[in-house]
Amino acid sequence: MNFWNGGRSHEISRPLRRAIRLLGGRLPCLPDPPQNPLALPLPLRNGAGGADYESQDGIKPLVRVWRKAIAKQIKLIFQPKQQTVGELFYRKGLEAATTIGAGGARSGGKSGGLRRIMLDRRQQFPGTFGAIVRRTWPDLDRNHVQRYFLEFPEMRDYWHEGKKKFILPNRSEIHCMFAENQQEVDQKFWGPEFFDLMIDQAEQFSEKELVTMKTSNRWPGAGVGVCKTGHFFNPGGIGTEYLRRIYWQKKFHDNEQGQDFTFIHMFGWDNYVWFEPLGLTPHQVYGLPCGITEECPAGDAGAAPDYMCCRFHLFIHRTAEGRKLNALPKTLRAGHLLGSFDSFAGQYFAGVWDESKLILTASQEAKLIQPWWSRWVAHDDGFVHHAAMGWATVGKVQPKVFLDVFGVDIPMPVTVVVVYRDLAIQGMEQGALVRTARKMTSMEETKTLTRYFLSLDAWEKDSHGNSVAENIAKECRRTEKVRDNLVMTWPEPERADNNRIGGWRFMYAMMKKTCDVMDGKMNPTREDEDYEKEDSGYSLHTPLLFISGRCSEIIEAVPLAISDDKHIGRHEDVLKQPGSKADDVNDMVRYLLKSMLNPRKMPFPIEAAEKRVEMEQKGLSMTEVAIQMRKIETANRHYGHRRSRWAR
């Protein structure tokens, strides 16, 4: 049984049929909901209840029966930034963004906003499904399910434990979903349809996982721009590269449309809960300027002692959460407090990656690099994922030249390494890639090009006994006539040093020493060049590292390297991020620096063990790992006659 009321069709439940009979078949006409359901007044506190619709027939008890039978409305109150995000979810049409990002700093109220927006959307769109997604069930239960119970006690009645979802009286559903890896994402998001998809801590998911989830964001009969995906996140995690690109850098690939993405930057001082213990009302707090996006009237120092000049200074000086975040080390403070996309939690090179000191301008590069300096290249092989190549040169720089280029006085000559060109490309055959690289290299460079380091996976033989390395070697041997009676070739490839932890430590030491020298100081703490030892310092012989401003791929990738806290004993390694361009570029830089400047010859069993760890991090099955280890041992003459230790 259905009735038409104000242009909205509703299904009538059994309790309402009795009310209709008492009215003689007449129904009270209810007003339309407001155009912007989120436009609710302060105070900004959690609350429950519903808006009272006035009956035009004066039969108020029956109106209450109708409301209870059809959909019990829960009153939702939003903070200003949460309301701004929520309003984006109600925009529709071709120009409306369908993928909405919100977050940045810690403690900004993004998760609370997510819950309220999701519940509001389900109340405003009866019979639709929405999904809240986290990486693991404990996080989802603690941060959303239990919080729903605490903030809106009515939600306990709607919870279905076995199905892990809320079913509201108006037949709308809020699905609480989690996916711990790509396989689970594929299983759970290929097929289902969700009117709204809200992914909390989206930085924990890879680009491929986020794109796969987005495919489920659709609903039959929905208009253009009505269905929405929300990414709620803090920078720092495997998805940071993707989220940073689409929301912060606004670099769009292939068929991505810029108008489909929008971002709201949230800060801790946007969240009223931290100011409540001060006895201030929401009107007092939100009546103050932001202090960051809006200038503080009292300047950078703020107005002591009460700091009522702006919300930023009030937050960092008078709230417990703000004082804690403001006391963090410089690099962590930038991410946790200010929501920086360049400095965030978990960065491997935090504290030493400083573009103002490491990146060369075109004029500095021209003055610094000399024609006689030795040059070399490194190549991280790839086809499905990105192949990355880099060019570097090294030489001694006298104090006078260093002063002329950088304006910094040094007491003795230093060894300087300059990475001056990069290339990252996907889907190009290896021979074509080498030909492209040779065209990019001038004749003068080729004269001093001495070595070519190639990633270990390129040396593995296929079923026909061929390897990528052999094909690349043929292309390098190809002569190129540059003038009469003068032909040139490239150096043939050799195995890159794949010592991961030692390579990252060496890069860290080079950056740290460069920053110290550029600050007019030097504090060597290492006596040798063995970077496998747990020592983050540098020695007198550690080279300085500079990167050309033309190397956009490297400049974008290095800050995205994240410490591996997922695998026991690998905390000093960089987390592998399969499919990430930044991951491939960073591996190339590690090969480029470590193989030439600090090589080691590992015993084969250790090299094989490291190769196995790398394959396991990529998610290969035990069978695939065993097959690859057999190939590696067969390729190694010393161990080729033995039965594989990796076979099962």
- Dump pLDDT digits (tens) for 329-343: 776 788 889 888 876
Domain-located, residue 162 = yes
**Residues 359-380: what's their mean pLDDT?**
95
Are residue 260 and residue 304 in the same domain, yes or no? no
Q: Does residue 424 register a pLDDT over 50?
A: yes
Domain-located, residue 555 = yes
Which segments of 381-504 are extended strands (E)?
Answer: 387-397, 414-425, 449-454, 480-483, 486-488, 493-495
Question: What pLDDT score does 605 carry?
Answer: 61
Q: Does residue 42 register a pLDDT over 60?
A: no
Q: Hey, what are 155's tokens?
A: 């939600």
Q: How many domains does the chain have?
A: 4
Are residue 449 and residue 373 in the same domain, yes or no? yes
Q: Does residue 210 register a pLDDT over 60?
A: yes
* Integer Cα distance of 388 and 584 in angstroms: 6
Q: Does residue 69 register a pLDDT over 70?
A: no
- Higher-pLDDT residue of 50, 489: 489
The residue type found at 464 is H
Helix (H) or strand (E) holding 130: strand 129-134
With pLDDT > 90 as the criterion, what percentage of the chain qualifies? 57
Residue 331: C-alpha distances to residues 52, 293, 359, 432, 562 (Å): 50, 20, 18, 41, 14
Q: Does residue 63 register a pLDDT over 60?
A: no
* 8 Å CB contact between 542 and 523: no
User: Given CA atoms 230, 235, 238, 244 in this order, what sign does their dihedral have?
Assistant: positive
Domain-located, residue 153 = yes
Question: pLDDT tier at 32 (50, 70, 90 boundaries)?
Answer: very low
Question: pLDDT tier at 530 (50, 70, 90 boundaries)?
Answer: confident
* Integer Cα distance of 514 and 151 in angstroms: 52
Q: Does residue 396 register a pLDDT over 90?
A: yes
Are residue 400 and residue 538 in the same domain, yes or no? yes
Place of tokens 């993928």: 99
Q: Does residue 79 register a pLDDT over 60?
A: yes
Question: pLDDT tier at 126 (50, 70, 90 boundaries)?
Answer: very high
Question: pLDDT tier at 601 (50, 70, 90 boundaries)?
Answer: low
Q: 103-107, 112-116, 169-173: lowest mean pLDDT where?
A: 103-107
Which range of 173-177, 560-564, 623-627 scores highest in mean pLDDT? It is 173-177
* Integer Cα distance of 431 and 386 in angstroms: 15
Q: 26-35, 136-145, 225-234, 452-461: lowest mean pLDDT where?
A: 26-35
Are residue 109 and residue 159 in the same domain, yes or no? yes
Which residue from 346, 202, 306 is spatially nearest to 263, judged by alpha carbons? 202
Q: Does residue 609 register a pLDDT over 60?
A: yes
Q: Does residue 476 register a pLDDT over 70?
A: yes
Q: Does residue 68 register a pLDDT over 80?
A: no
Question: What pLDDT score does 463 carry?
Answer: 78
What's the CATH code of the domain at 586? 3.30.420
* Integer Cα distance of 204 and 618 in angstroms: 16
Q: Of 308, 336, 364, which residue sits at a domain end?
A: 336
Which range of 356-365, 461-470, 614-623 scores highest in mean pLDDT? It is 356-365
Are residue 298 and residue 308 in the same domain, yes or no? yes
Question: What pLDDT score does 71 carry?
Answer: 45
Are residue 363 and residue 500 in the same domain, yes or no? yes
With pLDDT > 70 as the criterion, what percentage of the chain qualifies? 82
Question: What pLDDT score does 261 carry?
Answer: 97
Domain-located, residue 346 = no
Question: What pLDDT score does 73 carry?
Answer: 82
Domain-located, residue 233 = yes
Question: What pLDDT score does 27 carry?
Answer: 46
Q: Does residue 48 register a pLDDT over 70?
A: no
Q: Does residue 219 register a pLDDT over 80?
A: yes
Q: Does residue 114 register a pLDDT over 60?
A: yes
Q: Does residue 215 register a pLDDT over 60?
A: yes
Are residue 405 and residue 539 in the same domain, yes or no? yes
Are residue 154 and residue 52 in the same domain, yes or no? no
SS3 48: coil
- Higher-pLDDT residue of 567, 492: 492
Question: pLDDT tier at 636 (50, 70, 90 boundaries)?
Answer: low
Domain-located, residue 310 = yes
Count of alpha carbons within 13 Å of 521, Cβ hemisphere only?
4
* Integer Cα distance of 267 and 316 in angstroms: 12
- Higher-pLDDT residue of 592, 49: 592
DSSP H helical segments within 441-580, as ranges? Answer: 443-447, 468-477, 500-518, 552-557
Domain-located, residue 176 = yes
Question: pLDDT tier at 9 (50, 70, 90 boundaries)?
Answer: very low
* 8 Å CB contact between 182 and 189: no
Q: Does residue 52 register a pLDDT over 50?
A: no
Q: Hey, what are 249's tokens?
A: 């850098």
Q: Does residue 422 register a pLDDT over 70?
A: yes
Are residue 326 and residue 242 in the same domain, yes or no? no
Question: What pLDDT score does 592 carry?
Answer: 96
- Higher-pLDDT residue of 1, 197: 197
Q: Does residue 44 register a pLDDT over 70?
A: no
Question: What pLDDT score does 168 carry?
Answer: 95
Q: Does residue 30 register a pLDDT over 50?
A: no
Question: pLDDT tier at 631 (50, 70, 90 boundaries)?
Answer: confident
- Neighbour-count burial for 361-386, b at 16+ CB within 10 Å, e otherwise: eeebbeebbeeebebbbbbbbbeebb
Mean pLDDT across the chain, nearest whole number? 83
Are residue 361 and residue 433 in the same domain, yes or no? yes
Are residue 10 and residue 120 in the same domain, yes or no? no
- Higher-pLDDT residue of 603, 562: 562
Question: pLDDT tier at 579 (50, 70, 90 boundaries)?
Answer: confident
Q: For 341-353, what is each residue's pLDDT tens digit? A: 876 767 888 888 8
Please name the residues in contact with 596: beta carbons below 8 A apart, sequence gap of 6 or more.
376, 378, 392, 394, 451, 453
Domain-located, residue 576 = no
Question: pLDDT tier at 641 (50, 70, 90 boundaries)?
Answer: very low
What is the domain extent for residue 172? 80-270
**Residues 165-178: what's their mean pLDDT?**
96
Are residue 226 and residue 374 in the same domain, yes or no? no
Q: Which value, in Å, is the radius of gyration of the alpha carbons in the chain?
A: 30
